[in-house]
């Protein structure tokens, strides 16, 4: 039997899950107030020591919270699933949203009046002192103008901390925070006092020692709180639990773990303290099954059932972390995403299969908890056991959007191509959405920017203009092109111009973080910051990268192929006709598209007959997938409405021609290779640059949910897309255009050069649950993954859910609070997503075998 199923979680885990599931997210002010006080008190100190003083004050004074039923303790906030504010990065957007954040369309947070007053007082200190203000001062006005017009954005690190790192959990499990202090003390004693960088290194080492002493105090405060609660507890079972929690927190993370429970507590203290030090997201646990398993294997006193419950509790705690962003960024990261990517499987540093019993327990925990965090991933290679892959496919069939799957056979050589050693590349983990890195050796700056390739296409087709603004160089009017070579020449020039601006903006933010917010606590857990005597933000890591990601690849590829096919090959259109139709948005008012039509709940017999008749008249034949997608578009109100009247009817004819051009996602070489070329132009331009930490830029192709948000900045395109509609997500084909089945779609995606997009690529597929049912479904599913990876695809993830369930959840959200879906490089509760993001997920092609 391939199917094994998943058992039920304990009653404790169910209660803890419900606490998270039904919690209302709050903004809290304690950290902001404490950090501001620390900055005021230590203005005379260098930046690294001021940061250490901030950490010291927060760890010593942040409220200590132990919630009912918890076995693993440590909280960033008083209220569950809430967030603190870090004004040292930015603050003014928070104040602007005091009255609106609770009611915005994406990721609302409650800000009580007292909290707003406390934050307002703290914010008075910060004008001109934040990393964002310093970064803005470094940027040119032209770069800011391009960002303002939707070409790219660096808002992620511009407004908040960097994160996007996996630290050395295994080292702390072995030697504890006290071991870090001892290591730094030895490095301090061995410093060459005659070296010109002696003073900087000395300050860094003192900052690390101060930070880790405060971190030990933070854990001891939890031991004291657990002891207090134990004295008051009347239930003897819970009293014994609290007494053991107190013992655990007294020992770890100050010293190395000796039991699996201590190891789990150590893991969580590291995770939560990193969030407290900085507002960065994507603090990724990395290869949890590798560094945690030795403690499980050595713990002869623990039962399998209790060990599983501890892992489940770690999963619950990961969902307690939350983050608020400005209103625009919240739409790009819709779903309260914090991207704590936890990865299992793959291979060891010496190239052997890494699967172990804890690997499977992690899958079980994911099935038990069924919440968005961790962002659960698996690594697959030629030596991956079939049992492991089939178990992962079973987990996918639960409909949680996890695990995401990654291909060692592409990622390891891609990292080696960037200078990562073979052993380090084999040890890679996934950060945030889909970004590979060598854990605890890398400052990757993944997710450094969103880059809108489709917007660059629009600007190219308009001679460097966005609307009436001349954003890019004048590279020629579309109507003057004599061949597709003219387009590629212009597109490459525009790409070079805007990528240069992108690099300027990323480096401006990078420099600002190094100058104003070095992070001593984080840095000491990444190699080789202690050896080099400098923070992560100043280049202390072994590997330093900057990774901006692109989206709109399929839109661009399909648009370019449509020009090639319909203008230069078949000559069904002239460039002047195409330009006129694009300028007129194919006759539709801008912002008014077929998508704005209300959704239907069903279609009548005559309507279905009309759909079938129209397809026969148009295509001369019937394809079931085409019928299915047209019906779904009709149901969701996304089908083409009646052609605009009057002189614009020709625009509708042009749009019909363009929409029926062969598209990326159907295993057609001549189409797919155009998309490949457009992606390569972006990737090759990005990798020309270096960053202030001495590392290289590397491109990625993944959108979070920015394909919806930034689609609003893109006018009509030659693939028939109307202005302001969502763009394709990641490297996925456009919604509804991959009509030849899942294997054909995957084959198209595999033709992109995933090796050069070493910052990660993201591929979404959506399946009907019935297609994957039973042992036959598992066999087909596993075969699809193996085939895609054999053809050198990098990543794939799945939603297994039917469209009617999603529509029902839109109508009755209170009845579907626990419905979790894959958005892009992360999962989220479906009902908390903005409707336009929900609609984007609903519109994705439903594949079946």
- Active-site positions read 433, 435
The token pair that represents 54 in the structure block: 């901030």
Ramachandran bin of 380, using left for φ above 0, alpha for ψ from -120 to 50, beta for the remaining angles: beta
Q: Which of 687, 683, 675, 701 is nearest to 794 (CA)?
A: 701
What are the two backbone dihedrals, phi and then psi, of residue 385, each rounded to the nearest 5 degrees? Answer: -65, 145
The answer to whether the Cα torsion of 110, 112, 118, 124 is positive or negative is: positive
DSSP state of 219: H
3-state secondary structure of 379: strand
Question: How open is the CA angle 352-358-363, to the nearest 5 degrees?
Answer: 105
User: Residue holding tokens 């300050």?
Assistant: 203
Residue 253 near residue 295 (C-beta atoms within 8 A): no
Question: How open is the CA angle 50-55-59, to the nearest 5 degrees?
Answer: 150
Write out the H or E segment, with its range, that includes residue 522: helix 520-523
Question: How open is the CA angle 813-109-70, to the nearest 5 degrees?
Answer: 85
Residue 402 near residue 376 (C-beta atoms within 8 A): yes
The token pair that represents 719 in the structure block: 């693939």
Strand partners, 551: 452
Q: Which of 405, 413, 498 is nearest to 449 (CA)?
A: 498
DSSP labels, 330-361: HHHTTTT----EEEEESB-TTSSB---HHHHH
Burial of 606 (0-12, 13-18, 19+ CB in 10 A): exposed
Distance from CA of residue 433 to its chain's centroid? Answer: 3
Is the preceding omega at residue 253 within 30 degrees of 0, hence cis?
A: yes
CA contacts within 13 A on the Cβ side of 197:
7
Residue 54 near residue 353 (C-beta atoms within 8 A): no
């Amino acid at each position: 039997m391939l199917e094994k199923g998943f058992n039920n979680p304990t009653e404790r885990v169910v209660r803890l899950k419900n606490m998270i599931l039904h919690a209302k997210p709050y903004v809290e002010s304690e950290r902001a107030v404490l950090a501001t006080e620390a900055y005021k008190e230590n203005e005379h100190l260098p930046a690294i020591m001021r940061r250490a003083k901030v950490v010291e004050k927060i760890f010593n004074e942040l409220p200590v919270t132990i919630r009912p039923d918890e076995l693993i303790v440590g909280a960033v906030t008083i209220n569950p699933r809430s967030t603190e504010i870090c004004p040292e990065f930015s603050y003014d957007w928070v104040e602007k949203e005091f009255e609106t954040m609770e009611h915005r369309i994406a990721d609302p947070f409650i800000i009580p009046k007292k909290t707003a007053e406390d934050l307002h007082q703290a914010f008075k200190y910060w004008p001109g002192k934040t990393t964002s203000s310093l970064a803005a001062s470094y940027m040119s006005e032209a770069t800011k103008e391009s960002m303002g017009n939707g070409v790219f954005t660096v808002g992620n690190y511009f407004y908040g901390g960097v994160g996007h790192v996996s630290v050395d959990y295994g080292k702390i499990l072995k030697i504890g925070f006290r071991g870090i202090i001892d290591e730094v003390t030895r490095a301090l004693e061995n410093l060459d006092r005659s070296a010109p960088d002696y003073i900087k290194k000395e300050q860094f080492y003192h900052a690390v020692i101060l930070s880790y002493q405060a971190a030990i105090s933070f854990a001891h405060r939890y031991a004291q709180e657990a002891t207090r609660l134990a004295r008051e507890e009347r239930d003897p079972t819970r009293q014994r639990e609290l007494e053991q929690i107190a013992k655990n927190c007294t020992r770890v993370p100050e010293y190395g773990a000796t039991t699996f429970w201590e190891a789990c507590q150590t893991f969580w203290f590291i995770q939560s303290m990193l969030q407290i030090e900085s507002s960065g997201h994507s603090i990724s646990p990395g290869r949890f099954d590798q560094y945690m398993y030795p403690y499980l294997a050595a713990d002869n006193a623990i039962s399998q059932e209790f060990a599983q419950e501890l892992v489940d509790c770690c999963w619950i705690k990961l969902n307690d972390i939350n983050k608020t962003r400005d209103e625009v960024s919240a739409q790009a990261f819709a779903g309260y995403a914090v991207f704590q990517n936890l990865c299992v499987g793959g291979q060891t540093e010496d190239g052997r299969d890494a699967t172990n019993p804890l690997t499977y327990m992690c899958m079980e925990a994911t099935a038990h908890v069924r919440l968005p965090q961790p962002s659960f991933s698996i690594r697959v290679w030629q030596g991956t056991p079939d049992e492991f892959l089939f178990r992962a496919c079973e987990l996918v069939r639960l409909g949680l959007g996890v695990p995401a799957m990654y291909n060692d056979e592409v990622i390891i050589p891609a990292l080696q191509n960037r200078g990562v050693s073979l052993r380090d590349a084999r040890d890679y983990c996934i950060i945030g959405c889909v970004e590979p890195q060598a854990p605890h050796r890398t400052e990757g700056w993944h997710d450094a920017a969103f880059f809108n390739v489709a917007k660059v296409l629009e600007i190219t087709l308009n001679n460097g203009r966005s609307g009436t603004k001349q954003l890019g160089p004048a590279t020629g009017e579309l109507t003057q092109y004599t061949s597709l070579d003219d387009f590629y020449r212009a597109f490459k020039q525009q790409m070079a111009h805007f990528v240069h601006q992108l690099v300027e903006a990323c480096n401006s933010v990078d420099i600002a973080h190094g100058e104003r917010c070095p992070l001593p606590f984080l840095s000491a857990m990444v190699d080789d910051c202690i050896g080099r005597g400098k923070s992560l933000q100043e280049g202390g890591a072994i590997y330093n990268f900057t990774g901006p990601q692109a989206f709109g690849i399929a839109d661009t590829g399909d648009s370019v192929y449509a020009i090639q096919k319909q203008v230069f090959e078949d000559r069904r259109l002239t460039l002047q006709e195409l330009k006129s139709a694009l300028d007129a948005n194919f006759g539709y008012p801008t912002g008014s598209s077929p998508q704005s039509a209300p959704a239907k709940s069903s279609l009548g017999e005559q309507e279905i007959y009309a759909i079938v008749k129209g397809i026969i008249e148009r295509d001369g034949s019937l394809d079931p997938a085409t019928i299915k997608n047209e019906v779904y578009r009709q149901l969701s109100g996304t089908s083409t409405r009646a052609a605009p009247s009057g002189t614009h009817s020709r625009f509708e004819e042009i749009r019909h021609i363009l929409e029926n051009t062969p598209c990326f996602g159907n295993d057609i070489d001549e189409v797919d290779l155009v998309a490949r070329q457009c992606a390569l132009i972006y990737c090759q331009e990005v990798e020309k640059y270096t960053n202030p930490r001495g590392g290289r830029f590397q491109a990625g192709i993944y959108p979070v949910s920015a394909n919806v948000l930034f689609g609003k900045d893109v006018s009509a395109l030659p693939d028939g897309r109307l202005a302001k509609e969502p763009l394709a997500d990641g490297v996925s084909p456009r919604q509804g255009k991959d009509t030849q089945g899942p294997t054909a779609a995957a084959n198209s995606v595999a033709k992109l050069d995933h090796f050069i997009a070493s910052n990660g690529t993201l591929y979404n597929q959506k399946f009907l649950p019935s297609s994957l049912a039973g042992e036959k479904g598992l066999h087909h599913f596993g075969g699809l993954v193996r085939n895609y990876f054999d053809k050198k695809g990098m990543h794939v993830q799945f939603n297994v859910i039917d469209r009617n369930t999603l529509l029902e959840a839109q109508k009755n959200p209170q009845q579907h609070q626990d419905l979790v879906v894959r958005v892009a490089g992360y999962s989220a509760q479906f009902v908390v997503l903005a409707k336009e993001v929900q609609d984007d997920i609903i519109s994705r092609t439903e594949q079946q075998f």
